[in-house]
Chains A and B, each alone.
Chain A
Amino acid sequence: MLRRYFHNRPHLVYIGPALLILGILTFVPTIFLYGLSLTNYELGYPDFKFVGIDNFVRLFSGQDAEFWYSVRISLGFMIIVTVIELLLGFGLAVLLDREFKLKPLAFACLIVPIAMTPSITGQIWKLMLNAENGVVNYLLGFVGGKVIWLSAENAFLSTVLVDVWQNTPFVALIIYAGMRSLPSEPYEAAAIDGANRTQIFRFITLPLLLPMILLAVVFRAIDSLKTFDIPYSLTQGGPGSSTEFLSMHVYRLGFAQTGWVGRSAAVSVVLLVLITVISWFLIRAYRKGVENRG
């Protein structure tokens, strides 16, 4: 009986183990997370009780001002970072899209930020952005500038800067790959019809590159919404809570400053839902873009 079941589904032997492991690793913790978010479990206290949706009521009724602040700066960070990286990455891809001898060297340089451990990235930028002894202010000093990079007003923008440094090459590489695979026929047709450069860019290049651009947006938007490593080592969410993004908020609430695991589980449920909704929309847009190209 079991033998016949597998005989009729030969693929199960191959994909079964992976799907089983991934299923256990996602479903069990997710259910556990939802369960936790309904309790008042605290780190170090074995006793806890179910409090229903109290944790969520607290979040959405506005009692928890820090939560809404986290949501706002997380969404803001996502939009700002994605737009800047897309624009810079596009420009960089245009620069790379030509023949020159040292191209492998240029790529080797671009890979450095992509591969660098994000938590170490935050750490080294913390040294470089230091107001008194940092090299960035030292170099700015030659043109008479000085910025307190990690002050309460500037910490958010500094985090943006570091994220842009780390991830722009990633966007550039994806868009560059798209430019390399553009078909030549539409351009020949456009040349015959006498289209100018702006028209060619607007009506041929941009639509053909749209799937790649959307792919880059999907990756960057989702990853920047989840951001944790860089803020953790760069600012620890501070000064105060000025860079306390959602992931950081979960960490501080549940594990760093207070041990309210139940409440922080509720925040991470919100983060999970937010990411699911946003990625659903983005991926749908991406699939549409791919279909329209054909």
Chain B
Amino acid sequence: MNAYGSKKLGIGTGLLLLIVCILCIFPMFWMILVSLKDKALTYDPSVWFFSPTFENYKAVFEDRNAVDYLKNSAIVVILTTIVSIFIGGMAAYGFARFEFKKKENRAFWVLSLRMLPPMASVIPLFVMASLIGVLDTHIVLIVAYMLFNIPFTIWMMRSFFEEIPIALEEAAFVDGASRFRVFVQIILPLAVPGLIATAIFCIINSWNEFVFALFLTSSQASTLPTTVTLFLSVSGVAWGEMSSIGVVTILPVLIFAMIVQKYMIRGLTFGGVK
């Protein structure tokens, strides 16, 4: 129960909340609006009603290789998420159910990787990747993204595993099941909602990642966020195309974010706040 008792929504607070909500979605709304505008109307902010055209979308898919960016993003995001969930999920179970020396110190070290500035790891990764010759490939991004996906998975899944009553496992041990069998057959099925939520957060974070993608790829493996580099020059900025590729980039993450709305606070705080 709420400590203040249940407060009602007055007209004043209701209005304030409405304004906040409008402010939150306005940039997205505007981006969609501009992306549907005819070239002649793009630079006129006073036009809010017009017959929509899809020529900007057609242009980014035909001339700007939007499909390639989309494909690269999908490949990188899906593979890094699968690997991170697998390796991080195992570790999360280890942290949730075993007692060992320096456990909290190690868990804390994992958490501290969240603070690491990508700008500090990306320079050596860039030089190392170019030495090995994997620059501008999917694999280099998949590995680099594990740097934030595995710590996230460990802390998220640890909080989910710790919610599962330990008595369930003990009953199975009495029946003679091995630790690994218990993990796979009893714990994992119970943790499926948590696994899905964690995977979706990994997808969102990897999809949105920009620094690694900017440095480590140039043409063959570039992901959607790096499309902003196409539109940096002052001359000939195509607002319609900018907006339509922006819409293509943010729509999938917004849909995913709505799916994990229930776990949003938990996901944003590395499982720290439930």
Interface residues of A (CB under 8 A from B): 9-15, 17-19, 21-22, 25-26, 28-30, 32-33, 36, 41, 92, 95-100, 104-125, 127-128, 133-135, 137-138, 165, 169-170, 173-174, 176-180, 182-184, 186-187, 205, 212, 215, 219, 222, 225-226, 228-229, 232-233, 236, 246-247, 250-251, 254-255, 261, 264-265, 268-269, 271-272, 275-276, 279
Q: How far is the CB of A172 from chain B (nearest CB, A)?
A: 9
Interface size class of B (residues with CB under 8 A): 35 or more
Taking CB atoms, residues of chain A closer than 8 Å to B9 are 98-100
- Asked whether, in the complex, the Cβ of B253 is within 8 Å of the Cβ of A115, the reply is yes
- Asked whether, in the complex, the Cβ of B3 is within 8 Å of the Cβ of A18, the reply is no
List the B residue with the shortest CB-CB distance to A91. B16
Asked whether A212 and B273 contact (CB < 8 A) given A26-B113, A32-B127, A254-B123, the answer is: yes
Is B125 interfacial (CB 8 A cutoff)?
yes
Is B132 interfacial (CB 8 A cutoff)?
no
The answer for the CA separation of A173 and B214 in the assembled complex, in Å, is: 30
Q: How far is the CB of A142 from chain B (nearest CB, A)?
A: 11
- Asked whether, in the complex, the Cβ of A165 is within 8 Å of the Cβ of B117, the reply is no
Taking CB atoms, residues of chain B closer than 8 Å to A222 are 115
17 sampled A-B residue pairs with Cβ under 8 A: A11-B98, A15-B95, A28-B128, A30-B120, A33-B120, A98-B6, A99-B6, A105-B21, A111-B257, A111-B258, A118-B225, A127-B31, A133-B45, A133-B239, A177-B265, A182-B3, A183-B3
Besides A105-B21, A123-B228, A232-B228, 4 new A-B residue pairs in contact (Cβ under 8 A), listed by A number: A18-B88, A120-B228, A228-B119, A268-B117
Is B179 interfacial (CB 8 A cutoff)?
yes
**Of A41, A105, A114, the contact of B264 (CB 8 Å cutoff):** A114
**Of A113, A169, A219, the contact of B269 (CB 8 Å cutoff):** A219
- Asked whether, in the complex, the Cβ of A21 is within 8 Å of the Cβ of B117, the reply is no
The answer for the CA separation of A276 and B116 in the assembled complex, in Å, is: 8
Q: How far is the CB of A259 from chain B (nearest CB, A)?
A: 12
Count, A-B residue pairs, CB within 8 A: 272
Is B13 interfacial (CB 8 A cutoff)?
yes
- Asked whether, in the complex, the Cβ of B273 is within 8 Å of the Cβ of A128, the reply is no
Asked whether A112 and B273 contact (CB < 8 A) given A119-B210, A180-B2, A268-B119, the answer is: no
Asked whether A127 and B239 contact (CB < 8 A) given A109-B25, A138-B45, A212-B273, the answer is: yes
Could you say which of B56-64, B169-177, B190-198, B241-249 contacts chain A? Answer: B241-249
**Of A41, A113, A120, A254, the contact of B246 (CB 8 Å cutoff):** A120
- Asked whether, in the complex, the Cβ of B30 is within 8 Å of the Cβ of A128, the reply is yes
**Of A99, A112, A133, the contact of B7 (CB 8 Å cutoff):** A99
- Asked whether, in the complex, the Cβ of A261 is within 8 Å of the Cβ of B123, the reply is yes
Is B236 interfacial (CB 8 A cutoff)?
no
Is B82 interfacial (CB 8 A cutoff)?
no
* Contact code string B232-264 (vs A, CB < 8 Å = 1, else 0): 100000010011001001100110111001001
